[in-house]
Chains A and B, each alone.
Chain A
Amino acid sequence: KAGVTQTPRYLIKTRGQQVTLSCSPISGHRSVSWYQQTPGQGLQFLFEYFSETQRNKGNFPGRFSGRQFSNSRSEMNVSTLELGDSALYLCASSSRHSGNEQYFGPGTRLTVT
């Protein structure tokens, strides 16, 4: 069974631009969560989608948004990029069968200059 895939793996953007990251969950997994990892902050929860609905949201500004499609694939968008948005963005999927365990993709490394 294929794992969680994320595209692109690396991205360089300039301040003020917007970016869209994509995540394909493990087949059969309907829950997709997004996390931001920065040095010293660990992994910070962004939001979770289940059956195309946002179920939970972390403490990030409205510039961070996401959506989920009927095939469970998910995208997250960051508008008006700031230097502080430079981070590794991780996507994780889970199913009711996996319980609380979430399975992570390799991440997208975003650099904002």
Chain B
Amino acid sequence: DQQVKQNSPSLSVQEGRISILNCDYTNSMFDYFLWYKKYPAEGPTFLISISSIKDKNEDGRFTVFLNKSAKHLSLHIVPSQPGDSAVYFCAAVGFAGTASKLTFGTGTRLQVTL
């Protein structure tokens, strides 16, 4: 049962244009969401996060939007750069007592072309 879904396994965008990566979730108990970027042979790197009390969070070229009613979030990268080429994972936090664990999507491979 995939509670966090990234339905696009890959995305190709031209340098300078906007990249939009999408993520859907099914568990209404999730209340914190994160995006990670992963290069080959490296661990995921935290990119940006958003709490469910917000609908937008911005950090430089990266903006995450959250639509709670649709259980959907998206990551916008503007402008896209070749160095942004990586696999992007969406993750959600579900709490179990005092502990927390990240539930990840399957990732979207972004390729930024020249």
A: which residues have CB within 8 A of B?
4, 33, 35, 40-45, 48, 50, 55-56, 58, 90, 92, 99-107
Q: List 15 A-B contacts (CB under 8 A).
A: A40-B106, A42-B105, A43-B102, A43-B104, A45-B104, A55-B96, A56-B97, A56-B99, A56-B101, A58-B101, A99-B49, A100-B93, A101-B46, A104-B36, A107-B43
Residues of A within 8 A of B7 (CB): none
A71 to B111, CA, bound (A): 40
A102 touches B41 (CB 8 A): no
Mark B12-27 against chain A: 1 for CB-CB distance below 8 A, else 0.
0000000000000000
| Interface of chain B, main secondary structure | strand
Chain A interface, DSSP helix/strand/loop, else mixed: strand
In the complex the two chains form, what is the Cα distance from A45 to B99 in whole Å? Answer: 13
Q: Does A101 contact B34, Cβ atoms closer than 8 Å?
A: yes
